[in-house]
A and B are shown apart, each in its own frame.
Chain A
Amino acid sequence: MVNPTAQEPSLERLRAGDRAEFARLVDAYSAPIYRLGLRMLGNAQDAEDVLQNTFMSALTHLSEFEGRSSVATWLYRIAANEALMSIRRKRPEVHIEDLQTGDPEADLTPASFADWSSLPEDELLSEEGRKYLDLAIASLPETLRLVFIMRDIEGLSIKETADALGLTETNVKTRLLRARLHLRERLSTYYGERLIREEKND
């Protein structure tokens, strides 16, 4: 789960209006929420808005939080909603329902079979490679990206991701598979071309 170094903030103290405890909560979970905003919205200003709105909303609704999920999962749920609402505001022609289905009928069949898996890591993670990886993640449909960020980047479990997004675990697994295969396909095109270039040079 996120932030393993910090002790989970005390719900009792938070509910009692302990401001120092809320400040501790903010410091403990700001970084993953800010990263989620950056990945979802693609720029620092919108990520900052998601960050501020998430904690403002948490502060307002703290008394309604029943503690059935962890505080972290609850914060992720608020942040995911804030991010989707921000996308909706910027692209009013896109319906939230469309964002949530994320082209379920798209073909998952792999098209590229270049085996780039044994390329050395410093080549795969060169500055250019990193940039391409970030672009590939940014190209994921929003709802697949949300699941991918929570599970594969931030390390939430399938159950935590499901709780945060209000999805079933089966639904999370399906989206995760689609996201991973989508990314694999993009990276295979990119690194496959490198492989061909290297083979030509040999």
Chain B
Amino acid sequence: MTDHPHMNCEALLGSLSEYIDGELSPDLCHELEKHLAGCENCRVVLNTTQRTIDLVQAPVESVPVPEDVRERLFKRLNLDDYLKPKA
């Protein structure tokens, strides 16, 4: 990784999450992007971190609660009479 007069690799790493989430101030974004333009390793870290988050989020995880688990839950809560199938 390289040193940069305004932002070094360590500082970039500290702001990486907020940059990905679009929560970094425009000034810091600009500094970070200037650093990225000249630092290949940081570009790889950004791209692979972004990809890691994409992989976790897509496809949207939709593990349903198994029906027998739901039945036992309703029974434990004494809600048996509301145990009709989910709409």
Q: Footprint of B on A, CB under 8 Å?
A: 19-20, 22-23, 26-27, 30-31, 34-35, 38, 44, 48, 51-52, 55-56, 59, 108-110, 113-117, 121, 124-125, 133, 137, 152-153, 155, 158, 173, 176-177, 180-181, 183-184, 187-188
Contact indicator A125/B55 (Cβ below 8 Å): yes
Contact indicator A173/B18 (Cβ below 8 Å): yes
A-B contact pairs, 14 of them (CB 8 A): A22-B77, A26-B74, A31-B62, A31-B63, A48-B69, A110-B13, A110-B41, A124-B51, A125-B59, A152-B57, A155-B57, A177-B17, A184-B52, A187-B55
Q: How far is the CB of B63 from chain A (nearest CB, A)?
A: 5
Task: Enumerate chain A residues within 8 angstroms of B49, measured Cβ to Cβ.
Answer: 180-181, 184
Q: Bound state CA distance, A152 and B13, in angstroms? A: 18
Q: List 16 other contacts, CB 8 Å, given A23-B74, A31-B63, A152-B57.
A: A23-B82, A26-B73, A26-B74, A30-B70, A52-B77, A109-B13, A113-B44, A114-B48, A121-B58, A158-B23, A176-B17, A177-B13, A177-B17, A180-B17, A183-B52, A184-B52
Contact indicator B65/A30 (Cβ below 8 Å): yes
- Is B37 part of the contact surface with A, judged by Cβ < 8 Å? no
Q: Bound state CA distance, A26 and B77, in angstroms? A: 10
Residue in B18, B61, B86 whose beta carbon sits within 8 Å of that of A35 in the complex: B61
Contact indicator A27/B86 (Cβ below 8 Å): yes
Contact indicator A34/B63 (Cβ below 8 Å): yes
Contact indicator B76/A117 (Cβ below 8 Å): no
Count of chain A to chain B residue pairs whose CB atoms are closer than 8 Å in the complex: 109
A153-B61 CB under 8 A given contacts A110-B41, A180-B52: yes
Q: How far is the CB of B78 from chain A (nearest CB, A)?
A: 8
Q: Which chain A residue lies CB-closest to B10? A: A109
Could you tell me the dominant secondary structure of chain B's interface residues? helix
- Is B26 part of the contact surface with A, judged by Cβ < 8 Å? no
Task: Enumerate chain B residues within 8 angstroms of A19, measured Cβ to Cβ.
Answer: 79, 82
Q: How far is the CB of B51 from chain A (nearest CB, A)?
A: 4
Residue in A27, A51, A108, A124 whose beta carbon sits within 8 Å of that of B13 in the complex: A108
Q: Bound state CA distance, A176 and B16, in angstroms? A: 10
Contact indicator B79/A115 (Cβ below 8 Å): no
Could you tell me the dominant secondary structure of chain A's interface residues? helix
Task: Enumerate chain B residues within 8 angstroms of A180, measured Cβ to Cβ.
Answer: 16-17, 20, 49, 52-53
Residue in B20, B41, B52 whose beta carbon sits within 8 Å of that of A113 in the complex: B41
- Is B5 part of the contact surface with A, judged by Cβ < 8 Å? no
Q: Bound state CA distance, A188 and B20, in angstroms? A: 18
Q: How far is the CB of B79 from chain A (nearest CB, A)?
A: 5
Task: Enumerate chain B residues within 8 angstroms of A173, measured Cβ to Cβ.
Answer: 17-18
